[in-house]
Amino acid sequence: MVTTKHPVMRNIIGLFIVLSILIIMPSLQYALAQGDEAGEYLDRRVVIWNLFFRMMTVAFVIGAVVSGTLIWLIWRFRESHPKATPTKYEGTGALDE
């Protein structure tokens, strides 16, 4: 039973409970449910390639998202961007000392 009174901690614990129900438990169930079919032999070439393919798909998607986010951040928060707002230090001379 979650007894913490701090709202942030409660949210974090709630998030992990939801994640574990949605992702971790099905993964374990999926993993433990396979592998003992009689008379059927797995093809190493296929299963190893499939794992590699799935991992690479995830890796490239993450790579694209992270790279895209970085590029957007650099583009959006450059000093010359039309919507750029000056910091409270700019123009005060505080940065020149």
Partner 1 sequence: MSGHSHWPEWIYIGVVVALLVWVGAEAWNLERLVEHVPEDAKVIKVTGQQWFWTFEHEDGTKEVGELHVKKGVPYKFEVTSTDVIHSFNIHDYVVLMDAVPGRINIVWFVPFDEGEFPIQCREYCGLIHYNMRGTLYVEDDA
Task: Identify the residue among 17, 42, 56, 84 touching partner 1 (CB under 8 A).
Answer: 42
82 and 76 Cβ atoms separated by less than 8 Å: no
Report CA-CA distances (Å) from 86 to 23, 67, 81, 92. 43, 26, 11, 11
54 binds partner 1 (CB under 8 A): yes
Minimum distance of partner 1 from residue 17's CB (angstroms): 11
Distance CA 1, CA 23 (A): 21
Minimum distance of partner 1 from residue 80's CB (angstroms): 25
7 binds partner 1 (CB under 8 A): no
Distance CA 54, CA 32 (A): 19
Binding site for partner 1 (CB under 8 A): 8, 11-12, 15-16, 19, 23-24, 27-28, 30-31, 34-36, 41-45, 47-48, 51, 54-55, 58, 62
